């Protein structure tokens, strides 16, 4: 069968392309504004990529078109699919029908940390010999591709709350029917499709409704929005996670920090010490991710001590505080932060790791929610752990310069935040501010105009 994918370079649709190819299908796809790591992964898999959306991309007509949720009516290729009566469906529906049916699905949902937690859980199962299938919304460093069919009854999947397609406004994860479910957290996001956080809580409730009574739900002990989603109805056993003494009752899984930056911690199960995680990851968010992965792995038979041993060898995920270069002591990182909470936890984790060393954050508010200015009140405070912050206004959002000017008028250190509207201007500003060893964190959920390698090249030129 010839399957053509619209929006193929998105992390989810690109992973579907890999699975379809592994199933033996001929796979092609179209997209625009493509960037690594997904584009390079697809090319390595021998999947044909077409630049831009055109009716001619459908000649000869494929047997099936999978339409990504970024596609809408009016897109030339979408219109051609409908006018030519070509068979089509959403990516999540195809995945559920062709891959997930009759398998034990372990799903990871939440506003933050889905990709990393999915990769952690997958790595634990891999080290235990499960050979599970998987789909990760990114490229895990410990695996060559973002998805595979696997050789067992188990399938690990990143479960996104975003809608399925323009013709199916249900959240993707409603299709997956997990037996083991991790709920990492719940906050307001995706303002382009959700009116308020209550609408997201309702979608999470729909997901909870699909988990069997003999399944398991793992969640943090402290999350008011998850509380409300579960109060709408839950028929499945729940295990809670926490750090230290943050809750007044006994959580099922708890971490005792042995290093402030989260690089070492003791895993405690039902108040009994299990083993110590000592790894390369930092940040309390990753400690929480690890606890959830350990609990989920235990549900399918991996003992906690084996899970901890696996996590000690976990290499992380591309674009999650990925160290790209060390240019004469100037460390350049790439991070996928897309929400103020993600910015906060990432930068605080780095601060706890590097102490008083200088941190410079380059942040592109790129998500639909960010661009609409929904998070204006929390955006600047989210980067408090950085010494200097340069905001990229590449999409010419009127509210962002106004926000920075308002800060400067009242702040004790008015030059701490600045804004630039082009990548070149941003790089020039960085070069002005870098005078010695420091940590530069580039934060965006997109390609950021190719700034990563451009900046590294300029730093190397400057240091000569």
pLDDT score of 167 more than 70: yes
Q: How crowded is residue 45: how many other Cβ atoms within 10 Å of its Cβ?
A: 15
pLDDT score of 437 more than 80: yes
* 29 CB-near residues (< 8 Å, 6+ apart): 4, 5, 6, 7, 8, 9, 13, 17, 42, 47, 48, 49, 50
Nearest alpha-carbon partner for 265 in 298, 317, 311: 311
| Mean predicted confidence (pLDDT) in 72-100 | 97
* Lookup: tokens for 464: 């000569």
pLDDT score of 459 more than 70: yes
% residues pLDDT > 70 (the chain)? 96
pLDDT band per the 50, 70, 90 thresholds, residue 464: low
| Mean predicted confidence (pLDDT) in 153-168 | 96
**Positive or negative: CA dihedral 399, 403, 409, 414:** negative
Over the stretch 377-427, which tens digit does the pLDDT of each residue have?
Answer: 888 888 999 999 999 988 888 888 888 888 777 766 677 898 899 999 999
| Mean predicted confidence (pLDDT) in 184-190 | 85
pLDDT score of 154 more than 70: yes
Over the stretch 305-314, which tens digit does the pLDDT of each residue have?
Answer: 999 999 999 9
Q: How crowded is residue 263: how many other Cβ atoms within 10 Å of its Cβ?
A: 20
Residue 369 has a pLDDT of: 67
pLDDT band per the 50, 70, 90 thresholds, residue 193: confident
Q: Is 257 exposed, middle or buried (0-12, 13-18, 19+ CB in 10 A)?
A: middle
pLDDT score of 345 more than 80: yes
Higher pLDDT, 255 or 245: 255
Instruction: Report the alpha-carbon distance of residue 341 to residue 178 in Å, rounded.
Output: 27
Residue 153 has a pLDDT of: 96
Q: Which residues are annotated as a binding site for ATP?
A: 110-116
Instruction: Report the alpha-carbon distance of residue 39 to residue 66 in Å, rounded.
Output: 17
pLDDT band per the 50, 70, 90 thresholds, residue 87: very high
> Residue 131: which region, alpha, beta or left (left: phi > 0; alpha: psi -120 to 50)?
left
Residue 321 has a pLDDT of: 84
* 23 CB-near residues (< 8 Å, 6+ apart): 98, 99, 149
pLDDT score of 78 more than 90: yes
The residue with tokens 């709350």 is 161
* Lookup: tokens for 426: 């941003």
% residues pLDDT > 90 (the chain)? 67
Alpha-carbon distances of 134 from 8, 35, 73, 86, rounded to whole Å: 18, 22, 31, 29
Instruction: Report the alpha-carbon distance of residue 229 to residue 36 in Å, rounded.
Output: 36
pLDDT band per the 50, 70, 90 thresholds, residue 34: low
Q: Which residues are annotated as a binding site?
A: 110-116
- Report the chain's mean pLDDT, rounded to a whole number: 91
Q: Which domains does the chain have, with CATH numbers?
A: 2-90 (3.40.50.720), 102-311 (3.40.1190.10), 322-463 (3.90.190.20)
For the chain, the helix, strand and coil percentages under 3-state DSSP, each to the nearest 5? 35, 25, 40
Q: Which helix (H) or strand (E) holds 45?
A: none
Higher pLDDT, 107 or 392: 107
| Mean predicted confidence (pLDDT) in 366-384 | 77
């Amino acid at each position: 069968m010839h399957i053509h994918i619209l929006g193929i370079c998105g992390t989810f649709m690109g992973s579907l392309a890999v699975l379809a190819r592994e199933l033996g299908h001929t796979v092609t796809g179209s997209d625009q504004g493509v960037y690594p790591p997904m584009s390079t992964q697809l090319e390595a898999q021998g999947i044909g990529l077409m630049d831009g959306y055109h009716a001619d991309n459908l000649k000869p007509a494929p047997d099936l078109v999978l339409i990504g949720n970024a596609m809408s009516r009016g897109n030339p290729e979408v219109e051609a699919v409908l006018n030519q009566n070509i068979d089509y469906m959403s990516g999540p529906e195809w995945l559920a029908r062709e891959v997930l049916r009759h398998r034990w699905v372990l799903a990871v949902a939440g506003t933050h940390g889905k990709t990393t937690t999915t990769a952690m859980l997958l790595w634990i199962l891999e080290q235990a010999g499960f050979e599970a299938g998987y789909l990760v919304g990114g490229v895990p460093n410990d695996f060559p591709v973002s998805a595979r069919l696997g050789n067992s009854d188990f399938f690990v999947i990143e479960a996104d709350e975003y809608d399925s397609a323009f013709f199916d406004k249900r959240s993707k994860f409603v299709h997956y029917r997990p037996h083991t479910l991790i709920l990492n957290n719940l906050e307001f996001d995706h303002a382009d499709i959700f009116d308020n956080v209550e609408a997201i809580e309702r979608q999470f409730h729909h997901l909870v409704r699909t988990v069997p009574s003999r399944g398991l739900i793992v969640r943090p002990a402290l999350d008011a929005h998850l509380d409300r989603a579960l109060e709408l109805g839950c028929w499945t056993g729940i295990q809670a996670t926490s750090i230290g003494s943050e809750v007044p009752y006994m959580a099922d899984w708890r971490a005792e920090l042995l290093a402030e930056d989260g690089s070492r911690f003791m895993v405690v199960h039902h108040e009994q010490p299990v083993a110590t995680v000592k790894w390369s990851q930092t940040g309390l968010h990753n400690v929480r991710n690890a606890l959830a992965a350990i609990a989920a792995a235990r549900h399918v038979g991996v003992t906690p001590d084996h899970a901890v041993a696996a996590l000690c060898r976990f290499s992380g995920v591309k674009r999650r505080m990925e160290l790209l270069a060390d240019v004469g002591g100037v460390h350049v990182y790439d991070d996928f932060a897309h929400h103020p909470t993600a910015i906060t936890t990432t930068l605080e984790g780095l601060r706890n790791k590097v102490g008083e060393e200088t941190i410079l954050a380059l942040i592109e508010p790129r998500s639909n929610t960010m661009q609409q200015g929904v998070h204006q009140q929390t955006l600047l405070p989210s980067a408090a752990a950085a010494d200097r912050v340069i905001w990229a206004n590449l999409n010419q959002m009127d509210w962002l310069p106004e926000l920075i000017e308002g800060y400067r008028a009242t702040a004790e250190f008015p030059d701490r935040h600045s804004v630039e509207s082009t990548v070149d201007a941003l790089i020039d500003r960085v070069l002005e501010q870098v005078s010695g060893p420091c940590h530069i964190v580039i934060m965006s959920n997109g390609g950021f105009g190719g700034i990563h390698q451009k900046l590294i090249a300029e730093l190397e030129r400057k240091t000569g």
